Each structure stands twice: as structure tokens, then as C-alpha cells.
Chain A
């Protein structure tokens, strides 16, 4: 092979470019002036399959950073948000988080929505001891990765229990079918936690069907579920598919209520499913009706900036940035162990999604709100606290 004679030359060239690559270092970020910005990293699915969630969370985070800077920043320094896109692709988050930490020298990392992506970034943040705050990864494993990994949302184990209680107590259902997304770790986890608690409460799962994210045809699964005659259908998926599931369920003449978790949360849900959603329920982190000044302020500013009402993922993105700023303020320093300890000692922090307290496992103890869809609007139904959800109660009488 003719090209082969060049192998030595190419290797030499490769070596040279490697030297060039490793030779360059980022220049130290300016003199230590009073107004030097605090660098905050964010990694999100800005493009790709999960871009809808990533963009929503990013909008919330960006709004929070702008608000903080408009109010004079933290410790007299503005916050500088550096966002990296992971294209919703596995393997990318590790790279971008390494870049954020080593090249951009961020003091903390915010992200991600999807638990799978957060689990990729967590060991890297832990290794560098840079605090990471996940806005809305609900899988329990995320914060188990180390003592620098936090989250501002509740866990799927709690959400599953809350939904099981809701199905049993409020919907009075004993026969439930589950339709979950086999390709989404979030959905698989939530379905498992729900099943466990629901069976423990003397419920019965009469049918269990799976689909994969990105599917648009659910008629086959729904037809099989229809044949099992459940009293309610649990759909722990993302709104991108849930809207279509609701629509196709009604088209197939299924009239029992559907209910699901915080993946449902998005204004687009109603646009996609329209009237098919009436009388269905989901649990989430925050309801716009909740009478808190922070929440009202957030809804108003978000709507003014982006021209659409925020969803829970945007609210949690917003809260993750606010909580970080609050911790920096309390720590009196924007780095290292003091910052980590300040985040860990957060108590009753008031954000758009309610009060957040970080527990010793670095999770947020929060209540879930149940939302129903009535007349084309999301309406608040009830709040389920962690104590209520995990209480073992005898099943209610008929």
C-alpha cells in the first residue's frame, strides 16, 4: 500500500499536534478584581432528542442568573453562566462537564434534567469536588454518586409512592394498568416504585405494557390494555409521548383516567392532546396557582421574557440557580468546601417550586402537587407531603 510508507511521517505529525494540543493552557481569568464574575457552569440537552426539556430548564436558569445580576450579583460579583450542550447524547455530558470544570473553571455545575445524563456528569464533578446541582433528575441514584451532588427536586421513590397513594385513595382504583417507556430510565424507575407501593397497598396491576421514547404509535399497547379492563392507567412517561397516548386512548374508546408523573409537565401537553386530557392527573413539583410571592414573581417574569407560561422543569432550573446563589451568599465564598457545605446546609429555601430543604442524602425534601386538566387548563388538586406518601395505611373501605 502506497500510503503506508507515510505512516512514520503521519505519526510524527500526530505527535506534533498532540504537543500543540496539550501545550496550550487557558489563560488565568483576569486579575482578582472585585467585579470579577463568578463562573457557573450549566450542561443541558440544548439539541437532540431531549432538547425540549433541556431548553426549558435552561430558560429558567438563565432567567434566575439575569435576575440575580440585575440585583447586583452575589458578594458584589456578577454571575457568569456558561452553558454547554450535550446533544442529548450519552457520552457527551462527561466531556462537556470536564470542559466546564477544567477549561472554564466554573465554581459549580447546574444540570441535568434527564437522570441518565446527570449520572454521567456526577462522578466527574465528584472527582474534582465541584458541587453539582441537578434541577430535575428524580432518579435516586443521582445523588448517591458522592457528597458534592445535590438536587432541588423530589425523588422518584417518593413520587411513585405519592402516585400509588393517589391512585388508591383519591381515584379509589384497585385495578391499574401501567404503560411505561422502556427506553427512559426515568420512566422505568418511576414505574417500579409505583408498582411496589401500589401492590403493597393491596392494589392490582392488571396489565403492563412498554413503549420506547420517540414512538408515535401506541394503539397496539393501548388495545391490549383496553382488553384488561383497568380502572385507571398509569403512564409514567414524558409529555412528548403522553399527549399522544392520551389522544390515542380516547380514540380507542378508553375512558378511564390516565395519570402520571412530572414528565407530563409542559404547556405543549394540552396543545398536543387537547380535550383528550380532560379528567387526567399528574404529579409535579409546582403549580402556578400556588400562592407564593416567589412563584408568582417567577411566572410573571418568565412569561414576560419568553412569551409563554413556565413549566415545572423551568421552575426547577430557576430554583437550582437561585439556590446556588443563596449558598454562595451564605458561604461568603464562591468556591470549594465552604460552598459545598453551604449548599448542604440549605434549610427552607424559598424558590419558585416551594420550600427546599437539602437532607443529609443531598436530596430535596419536597411535597408533590397533583394537577388535573379541566376545561383545557391545568388545575391544582391536592398536595401530598413526604410523610403522607410513605405512611402505610390500610386500604380504604369500598
Chain B
């Protein structure tokens, strides 16, 4: 029983991070209908931004940690806007596949630049917040970092949900997602809304990067590749373009992966995760919460 609860907790905290990254994929997809492959590397940059910010102004207090989190989110928001401006915007009227290739190019560029600037060896990630662990009867162990992920993720999710549903920018985002041409006709500034979407998604990736690094405590320039792939899977399972779907997909994937990893089939974790994905998509081709769009002639 303890083992089950412990695994559930492990899975939830892993899944929460997947959910944060998946949200970035899903938001960009919702507005622009393309997979932003560079997103997982913005996640990596977020973690490194936290690392260097902490070296610059060390912190182990609550406020200092939050300041670093905010600083890293701001930096990545800017990075996201710059990437969109330089690499994606010139191709907006082209086929989506062109943007996809550019996104892969940006992803590789960030990874190799990272290896060049930061070195390939993993770096220890500092504890930004004061850490405590609680031991419960029966041996269940919970650390404040795990709790931080489990608290911050729903908060960020709720904030995002609020922005998308209740603010003017959110309305504009949904309008573009619904019909880009009609949206510009009613006076929505496409460029500004898309920049904003990238800023928001990249800030979430940075938050994900920092929370992930707090829990696993080592960062390297290729750290984004695997979580990025998993988060992408999560976004698709949940129904890409759907915000609650991304959160659900992330949690589901985190829990499944943890339970497989803890069993004797741990060598096949990735295979099992993908097999489940394929099964889900075969029965629900638009993901768990996605709406199937029937193509009209």
C-alpha cells in the first residue's frame, strides 16, 4: 500500500511537469496549428536561466526562489517571442511543414548552442526553496519540492484558463484559433496575439524547467529532449489544442510511466507509453478531450 501511494505521488509530480510543458505545445498548436519542436529546448533554457540567476543572486528563501522563477519565466517569454519573430513569422503564410522544419532547426540550434556555452556535462541544480521532507507512517515520504510542483501546476493552469477564457487577449486567441481570417477582419492584431501566445507558452515551459530541475536536481543541454517528447505525446493524448486535455494527458502519462518503471517491465517503459498512446488514439482519434472535426466539403 505504501509502495502504491509512493508511486502514485511520484507519478503525479512527474505528470504535473509533463502537463506544464504540454500546455505550451497545445497553446501554440491551438493558435497556429503547428508543433513547436523548439518548445522542449525553451524548457531547458528555463532551467539554465534559473541556474545562472541563482549563481548571480543566491537564494534559499521562499521570496528569492519565487523571484528566480519569475525571472526565468520572463527570460523565456522573451526568448519565445524572439524565436517566433525571427524564425516562424516570415513563414506564416507558407505550409505548416515549413514551419515545422524551422522549428526543428531552432530546437537543434538551442541544443548545440547550449552544449557549446554551458558544456555537455550535467550541472547540479541548486535548491531554490528551503526543502523539507515529511515522513508518514508506513514509510511514505513527501518532499516540499514534490508538493511545490503539485501546488504550482494547478495554480498556473488555473491562471492560464482564466487568461484564455476571461481576458481580451484570450478571446482574441480563441478567435484566431477558430478562424484566423475572420479574426483579422474583426480587427484582431494577429502578430500581437501570436507573440503573446508564444510568451505565455514559453513562460510555462520555463516554470516547468525549474520545477523539473528542483525535483531531479541536475540539468544539461539535452535535458529537454525526452520530457519534451513525452509532453508532446501527452498533449496529443489529451487532444492537441485543448488546455484541460493537455493537463489530463500529462498526469496520465506521468502515472503510467511511473508504474511501468516500478514494475519488472521497466525496460519497455517508452514502448508501453507509446503503445497506450496508439490504443487511445485508435479509439479516440482526436485525443481524450479533443473534438473530432468532421471535414465538410
A residues near B (Cβ < 8 Å) are 47-49, 51-52, 55, 182, 208-212, 214-217, 219-221, 223-224, 226-227, 240, 243-244, 247-248, 251-253, 266, 268, 271-272, 274
Contacts and interface: CB of A to CB of B under 8 A. Distances in A.
26 contacts: A47-B115, A47-B120, A210-B267, A214-B226, A216-B212, A216-B218, A216-B223, A217-B14, A217-B258, A217-B261, A219-B6, A219-B10, A220-B7, A220-B10, A220-B257, A220-B261, A221-B261, A223-B6, A223-B7, A226-B3, A240-B218, A243-B124, A243-B218, A247-B217, A253-B135, A253-B141
Contacts of B263: 224
Interface in B102-143: 112, 115, 119-124, 133, 135, 139, 141, 143
A56 to B, nearest CB: 8
B226 A215 contact: yes
B268 to A, nearest CB: 9
A211 B261 contact: yes
A253 B115 CA distance: 34
B262 A240 contact: no
A276 to B, nearest CB: 10
A209 B119 CA distance: 30
Contacts of B266: 182, 209-211, 220-221
B216 interface: yes
Contacts of B260: 220
Contacts of A182: 266-267
Given A217-B14, A243-B124, 18 more contacts: A48-B222, A51-B120, A182-B267, A212-B270, A216-B212, A216-B218, A220-B7, A220-B261, A223-B10, A224-B262, A226-B139, A243-B218, A244-B217, A244-B218, A251-B141, A251-B143, A252-B141, A272-B124
Interface residues of B, number: 41
Interface of B: 3, 6-7, 10-11, 14, 112, 115, 119-124, 133, 135, 139, 141, 143, 212, 215-218, 220, 222-223, 225-226, 257-264, 266-267, 269-270
Nearest to B227: A216
B86 to A, nearest CB: 24
A109 B26 CA distance: 49
Contacts of B220: 240
- Among B115, B119, B266, B267, chain A packs the most CB atoms within 10 A around the CB of B266
A244 B266 CA distance: 18
B122 A240 contact: yes
Contacts of A268: 121-124
A254 B226 CA distance: 27
Contacts of A240: 121-122, 218, 220
- Interface residues of chain A: helix, strand, loop or mixed (majority): helix
Contacts of A217: 10, 14, 215-216, 258, 261
Nearest to B142: A251
A212 B124 contact: no
Nearest to A182: B267
A285 B115 CA distance: 28
Contacts of A271: 123-124
A266 to B, nearest CB: 8
A248 B14 CA distance: 14
A244 B215 CA distance: 10
A272 B122 CA distance: 8
Nearest to A271: B124
A49 B114 CA distance: 12
A224 B218 contact: no
B120 A52 contact: yes
Contact of A52 (B11, B122, B217): B122
What are the 8 closest A-B residue pairs judged by CB atoms, nearest first? A51-B120, A220-B261, A216-B216, A220-B262, A52-B121, A219-B10, A224-B262, A182-B267
A341 B268 CA distance: 45
Contacts of B141: 251-253
A266 B218 CA distance: 14
Nearest to B254: A217
Nearest to A276: B217
A209 B262 CA distance: 8
B261 A244 contact: no
Nearest to B263: A224
Given A220-B10, A223-B7, A224-B263, A244 B115 contact: no
Nearest to A52: B121
B257 to A, nearest CB: 8
A252 B212 contact: no
- Among B11, B223, B226, chain A packs the most CB atoms within 10 A around the CB of B226
A133 to B, nearest CB: 24
Contacts of A266: 121
A212 B269 contact: yes
Nearest to A216: B216
Contacts of B269: 212
B267 A223 contact: no
